[in-house]
Amino acid sequence: MTFKHYDVVRAASPSDLADALAQKIREGWQPYGGPFSSYTDDGAALIQAIVAEGDVSTPVVVKPTGGEGAVISATSAPGYYFVVVLAGQSNGMSYGEGLPLPETYDRPDPRIKQLARRSTVTPGGAACKYNDIIPADHCLHDVQDMSRLNHPKADLSKGQYGTVGQGLHIAKKLLPFIPANAGILLVPCCRGGSAFTTGADGTYSDASGASENSARWGVDKPLYKDLIGRTKAALKKNPKNVLFAVVWMQGEFDFGGTPVNHAAQFGALVDKFRADLADMAGQCVGGSAGGVPWICGDTTYFWKQKNESTYQTVYGSYKNKTEKNIHFVPFMTDENGVNVPTNKPEEDPDIPGIGYYGSKWRDSSATWTSQDRASHFSTWARRGIISDRLATAILIHAGRTTVKVDAPYF
């Protein structure tokens, strides 16, 4: 008999050891020999050797082929997924203009996936079909395709294509709090420049989702059909998948529409979404679609300074819906009262020592996301404070009662 992986389980008592060993067995391990005692400065501990003949879902040390060092990785696909939906407009997606760093700060994780939309996983990469489960990276498959907007300093051979969003980083910050045999499945449904009270409807197809020119949110609009269709598709992939949260960031383009109507239309969309998921309530956090929190992110200081009263009309309304399990996450300033960084070049400087180049290199409409550089959060903000606060909100409103390491939700 040949074993592929070796590890040990440590516990302070026989009952703790039995519980830990039972979890390892579920992950594909088996005991090797009997337990023994070890004495350290902390007292006695029980230790049980474990082995595995095949792949396991536990993160293990894996030696790269032909390389040095080791990486921590799961050796098999997750057994099921916590589904996180990402919807709204540009600040909810990959609009960070700084250079992507997929080998370091934006490195993908094998337990984090997304639903496909484009015809290839990455530009020029492996083929995929609509709603396939594929690896998630820094530039997710949203309604608007940002994969073509390359940084002038990008090395495409290193995967530094497109722009940077927070989706991957939200998922990375959730991973330590979910069972080791589970993963995060992101469902990207954002469209830059979309609004409730202005913009073109676009079109919808079951085979490809909302068309890229779809820019209008609302009940039964193409963007809504895309949102509900892809959410259901993610849950249907596995009866154990659970809808964990909807992360919503939208409102800026309603400044130029009819902002007073925004709150009612957003509320109607959430109600319709939950009603349309009634037949899948068993796969929702808390056992009902209403138990799935909507985590609503703030915008940049640019929009508040542009029109304070309109900002309060649109974003202020998100603050008054906690009884409906809708929760506002502020991003105007950091913990020191400093504005959260944007794509404004002076707020996104180069860091040559780590191979990072900021937004100043995107100096024309051919490469920047918007002429109003402060209208979108920076790459570093998305890697840091934006994903930190969104992941924390998800854990507070969905995770504290549903994520258990010793007993998955189902």
Query: pLDDT tens digits for 149-183?
Result: 999 999 999 999 999 999 999 999 999 999 999 99
Distance from the first to the final alpha carbon of the chain: 34
**C-alpha–C-alpha distance, residues 358 and 348, integer Å:** 5
Q: Whose CA is closest to 34, among 8, 61, 1, 60? A: 8
Q: Whose CA is closest to 84, among 210, 223, 241, 216? A: 241
Q: Which residue has the higher pLDDT, 337 or 77?
A: 337
| Mean predicted confidence (pLDDT) in 369-379 | 97
Per the listing, tokens 């370091």 go with: 104
80-400: CATH architecture: 3-Layer(aba) Sandwich (3.40)
- pTM value? 0.82
pLDDT at 5: 77
**C-alpha–C-alpha distance, residues 386 and 295, integer Å:** 12
Provide DSSP, 105-156: TT---TTEEEE--SSBSSTTS-B--TT-EEE--SS---SS--TT---TT--G
Query: pLDDT tens digits for 7-57?
Result: 888 888 888 888 888 878 877 788 888 887 766 555 557 888 888 877 776
In the numeric block, which tokens belong to residue 33? 């020999």
Phi, psi of 7 (to 5 degrees): -160, 175
The residue extents of the domains of the chain are 5-52, 80-400
Query: pLDDT tens digits for 348-358?
Result: 999 999 999 99
